């Protein structure tokens, strides 16, 4: 039965029993449904909405991205066009998320990559590895701009949202550090208790403030420019007991942020209320999200691109819990492969897509795309079974004599108007609320050169006569190159500057959580990262050919391998080449 009423306002509620008009009444509530109360003059109607108006969250698995290496962490750029994945062997694999193909591989570190962050314009990447090194990379060239060596392992790196000259670093057992890349200087942020240095930190949405949290549940809000304390409060578990802060995450839109704590509760706060309360305030969280049945601890939490949903990855299994922020109800649980442990979760900035990492593979979760042909052609009908078609008498006539000409009204009349096809309107999803235009220098995509396996001939190469003359000139030119390199007139590739960051009172024997338990020297666990002495791209290439002997296809060993390599390294003369092969 459909009723038409004059509704003056709507207010969402988690269940009818929580509304003051229905206090004391027991009403059934479903998991994935929402309740709305309509306030009508002198009358109250309860409306039950079976499905939300626009489900903007993923519902099923949509494939995987295999980086060849073991993936550990991932992050989207600001527009969601590129996905950077940090791997176990120190490489950073950049995926083109539209084509789902690898756009670039950067041989970044020797040890596993544990944290990544994109700059605002997408041209730079900052990465941290388990050997305590933080590096900045040029995404287009793949070169390292500069490095910073810390005394303890790095838990998180984050660019300033508006100033890519500043990077926030969270080392283990140390106060957070803010790096200034232009002059390689650093500032140690103030902490609440010098004895408690298990501190996590994060920039707010626009980088005006830095929020820090320690193991005693104390949150400090610092002014980014001056590091002055602006506000503070303590997260409690309902009584006087405190709980450790595991992570702080901000929404891309709005002023909300969430705090993941050791008591397995995700608390959502409004940043404006925190600033209003000031120092030692007592703000109440907007929502408290938790798994009451299984008491699941959370590995990683983040907001959706529009800030309306929150996803949390379980620390026990590959499972993603999605809540609606405004109401606080659980709308979906996404289950991955049984027995796998979750490492990282990232929500696409613009679309309802989630990337999660488990067992070294990136899993993609998206909405179920249902084909709706009637959206393109209103008169299109889907048939369950064959129907005999009756042809109209005038259907195949060149001109329909019986057809009456309709008058041009509304949309038909608007067709005669001129349409502007030259000016480009900015995409609202790519602009912040305080911006009108998109960044013209932003790096949205990476150019990819096609790989030709066996080119028969080069159509753009020099003619055969030119090849002969160029071979004769090679000897003289090579001599000149040797002399110029010896003189130093042609400088080699610039080596990135490495800065040692000295932190007072920080232990040097800490081991990153990704690498296992501290002090277990007899552990037989396989060492992560590339073997010692391996350099750069030669070792990284999975397609590097191996040397084989005979027709049996067995790898060469020992002295035989060295002999063949020595022979291959010697240039063959024109006359001796054929005799050697025979």
Write the pLDDT tens digit of every residue in 82-136: 999 999 999 999 999 999 999 999 999 999 999 999 999 999 999 999 999 999 9
Render pLDDT for 438-457 as a digit per residue (tens, 0 to 9).
777 889 999 876 666 665 55
Which pLDDT score is estimated for 391?
81
pLDDT at 408: 57
Which DSSP state fits 515? G
In this prediction the pTM is 0.70
The pLDDT confidence band at residue 553, using thresholds 50, 70 and 90, is very low
Average pLDDT over residues 247-258: 94
Residue 329 has pLDDT above 90, yes or no: yes
Q: Where are the beta strands (DSSP E) in 315-360?
A: 319-324, 330-335, 342-347, 354-358
- Which pLDDT band, with edges at 50, 70 and 90, does 471 fall under? very low
* Three-class secondary structure of residue 335 per DSSP: strand
Q: How far apart are CA 159 and CA 179, in angstroms?
A: 10
pLDDT at 576 over 70: no
- Closest to 157 measured CA to CA, from 138, 148, 170, 144: 170
Confidence of residue 475 (pLDDT cuts 50, 70, 90): low
Dihedral (Cα; 138, 541, 70, 149), 10-degree rounding: -40
pLDDT digits (tens, 9 = 90+) for 15-38: 443 443 433 333 333 333 444 444
Residue 197 structure tokens:
């240095």
The predicted pLDDT at position 368 comes to 85
Q: What is the mean pLDDT of residues 236-264?
A: 90
- The whole-angstrom separation of Cα 372 and Cα 352 is 19
């Amino acid at each position: 039965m459909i009723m038409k009423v004059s509704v003056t306002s709507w207010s969402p509620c988690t269940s009818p029993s929580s509304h003051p008009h229905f206090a004391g009444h027991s009403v059934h509530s479903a998991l994935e449904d929402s309740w709305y109360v309509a306030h009508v003059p002198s009358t109250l109607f309860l409306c039950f909405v079976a499905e939300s108006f626009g489900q903007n969250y993923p519902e099923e698995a949509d494939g995987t991205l295999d980086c060849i290496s073991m993936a550990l962490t991932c992050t989207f750029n600001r527009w969601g066009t590129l996905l950077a994945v940090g791997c176990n062997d120190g490489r950073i694999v950049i995926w083109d998320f539209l084509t789902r193909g690898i756009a670039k591989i950067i041989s970044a570190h020797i040890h596993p990559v544990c944290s990544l962050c994109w700059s605002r314009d997408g041209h730079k990447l900052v990465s941290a590895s388990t050997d305590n090194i933080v590096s900045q990379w040029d995404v287009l060239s793949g070169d390292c701009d500069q490095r910073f060596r810390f005394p303890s392992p790095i838990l998180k790196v984050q660019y300033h949202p508006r100033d890519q000259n500043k990077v926030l670093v969270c080392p283990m057992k140390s106060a957070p550090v803010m790096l200034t890349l232009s002059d390689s200087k650093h500032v140690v942020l103030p902490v609440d208790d010098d004895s408690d240095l298990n501190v996590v930190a994060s920039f707010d949405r626009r980088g005006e403030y830095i929020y820090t949290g320690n193991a005693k549940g104390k949150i400090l809000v610092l002014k980014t420019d001056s590091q002055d304390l602006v506000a503070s409060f303590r997260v409690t578990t309902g009584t006087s007991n405190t709980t450790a802060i595991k992570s702080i995450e901000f929404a891309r839109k709005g002023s909300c942020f969430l705090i993941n704590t050791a008591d397995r509760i995700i608390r959502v706060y409004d940043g404006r209320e925190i600033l209003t309360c000031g120092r030692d305030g007592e703000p109440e969280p907007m929502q408290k999200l938790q798994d009451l049945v299984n008491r699941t601890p959370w590995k990683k939490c983040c907001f959706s691109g529009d800030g309306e949903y929150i996803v949390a990855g379980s620390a026990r299994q590959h499972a993603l819990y999605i809540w609606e922020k405004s109401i606080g109800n659980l709308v979906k649980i996404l289950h991955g492969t049984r027995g796998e442990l979750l490492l990282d979760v990232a929500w696409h900035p613009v679309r309802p897509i989630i990337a999660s990492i488990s067992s070294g593979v990136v899993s993609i979760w998206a909405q179920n795309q249902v084909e709706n042909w009637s959206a393109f052609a209103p008169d299109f009908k889907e048939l369950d079974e064959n129907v005999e078609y009756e042809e109209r008498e005038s259907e195949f006539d060149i001109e329909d004599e019986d057809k009456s000409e309709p008058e041009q009204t509304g949309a038909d009349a608007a067709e005669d108007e001129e349409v502007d096809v030259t000016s480009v309107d900015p995409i609202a999803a790519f602009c912040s609320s305080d911006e009108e235009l998109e960044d013209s220098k932003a790096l949205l995509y990476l150019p990819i050169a096609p790989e030709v396996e066996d080119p028969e001939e080069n159509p753009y190469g020099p003619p055969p006569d030119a090849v002969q003359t160029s071979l004769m000139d090679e000897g003289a030119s090579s001599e000149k190159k040797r002399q110029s390199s010896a003189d130093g007139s042609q400088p080699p590739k610039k080596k990135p500057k490495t800065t040692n960051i000295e932190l007072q009172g920080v232990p040097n024997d800490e081991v990153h959580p990704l690498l296992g338990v501290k002090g277990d020297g007899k552990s037989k666990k396989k060492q992560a990262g590339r073997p010692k002495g391996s350099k750069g791209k030669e070792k990284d290439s999975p397609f590097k050919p191996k040397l084989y002997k005979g027709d049996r296809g067995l790898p060469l060993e020992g002295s035989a391998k060295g002999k063949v390599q020595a022979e291959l390294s010697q240039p063959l003369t024109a006359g001796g080449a054929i005799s050697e092969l025979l």
